[in-house]
Structure 1
């Protein structure tokens, strides 16, 4: 993966921001927020084809391919990043509203995307987010009842969200 692969070098930086920004940052809400942020970002900004000369995006602004490195697993209550779950469960992540200063318009766009998504996610209760994540075919294909740590396929997640993004923008 190239094109400055990740916006966040450490997903914990985003978790810290979510914990400070969400009204009720439960473990479930943090996990589903990470999933929806990652999926929508990868399906939109992360999927821009800069080689297409008819693209509205110039070579001067290139968005990272992914928001952060992710290894989502299908658990009973939806997609989970196990590493983050363990750290968050043990309260080893400190909430922080600190954003990096924008050094360019790409960073401003990505932070705006994050804040817009948080505004949409925040009013939904935990189990509303779980129910929504259970609609995704990538989760359905990976989940095995009674098991956790079932790896999810990144490309299948992205394809689900390309479809959602297309119907949202239509």
Structure 2
């Protein structure tokens, strides 16, 4: 069995899904945010707004639990924090709305089939943290959230490097803990 994971194949020797060593992947949390926004009556989120809400979910979770929600880097880009794997997943949407979670694709008997997102795969405590943060930020525009992230020292102090460089600095744990949500 193979799992198609954003351009990568992983093989399970037992024919079952590979057990991830991290609690979640960034796309799992992004999918939950999209699902929850839909449940609350929102038509969808832009990729930019999703990135900013995801950033604040990561910082809120880290502050509450002392643990990282997923093991993927968060980079400092021109418009604020970005999780590259989520960016590449949704970049074709540009400014359009992402209306629902995406499915992963798994190989079953030689064919790729959709493995739809299931919100119940996120534990209840994590759901509560995500929902509280989404509820606080969902009515902000994407650019209000960009402005909010740009006011934080973790981005502001690196502004010239971010705007003039091809390399995107990565947020440190200390910077994530210092974020205001």
Secondary structure of residue in 2 paired with 1:100: helix
CA deviation string 1:139-163 (max 9, x = no partner)? 22344224454222322323413xx
| SS class of match (1:79) | strand
Q: Which residue of 2 aligns with 1:44?
A: 64
1:42–1:118 CA distance, 2 compared to 1 (3 A):
same
Q: 2:156 corresponds to which residue?
A: 140
* Corresponding position of 2:48: 28
Indicate conservation of the 8 Å contact 1:76/1:146, yes or no: no
Residue 83 of structure 1: aligned partner? 85
2:143 counterpart residue number: 127
- CA gap 1:27/1:120 in 2 versus in 1, 3 angstroms: same
* Deviation by residue 1:79-123 (Cα, 9 ceiling, x = unmatched): 1112210111136x6177732268xxxx32221111111111111
Judge conservation of contact 1:74–1:148 (CA < 8 Å) in 2.
Answer: no
C-alpha distance in structure 2 between counterparts of 1:149 and 1:73, whole Å? 9
TM-score by length of 1: 0.68
What's the offset of the Cα at 1:132? 0.6
**Residues 72, 82 of structure 1: 8 Å contact kept:** yes
Computed over aligned residues only, the root mean square deviation of the Cα atoms, in angstroms, reads 2.8
- Report if the CA contact (8 A) 1:27-1:85 is conserved: yes
CA contact (8 A) 1:73 1:149 kept: no
Structure 1: distance between partners of 2:32 and 2:132: 13
Name the residue aligned to 1:94.
102
- Which of 1 and 2 has higher RCO (CA within 8 Å, sep 6+)? 1
Deviant stretches of 4+, over 6 Å = none
Q: Find the aligned partners of 2:57 and 2:166 in 1 and give their Cα distance.
A: 22
**Taking structure 2 as the reference length, what is the TM-score of the superposition?**
0.64
Give the corresponding residue for 1:73: 75
Q: Which structure's residues are more often strand, by fraction?
A: 2
Is the CA contact (8 Å cut-off) linking 2:59 and 2:177 kept in structure 1? Answer: no
Cα offset, 1:39, TM superposition: 1.1
The whole-number CA distance in structure 2 between the counterparts of 1:148 and 1:85 is 16
Structure exhibiting the larger radius of gyration computed from Cα positions: 2
Gaps of 5+ in 2: 1-20, 94-100, 104-115
Q: How many residues align?
A: 137
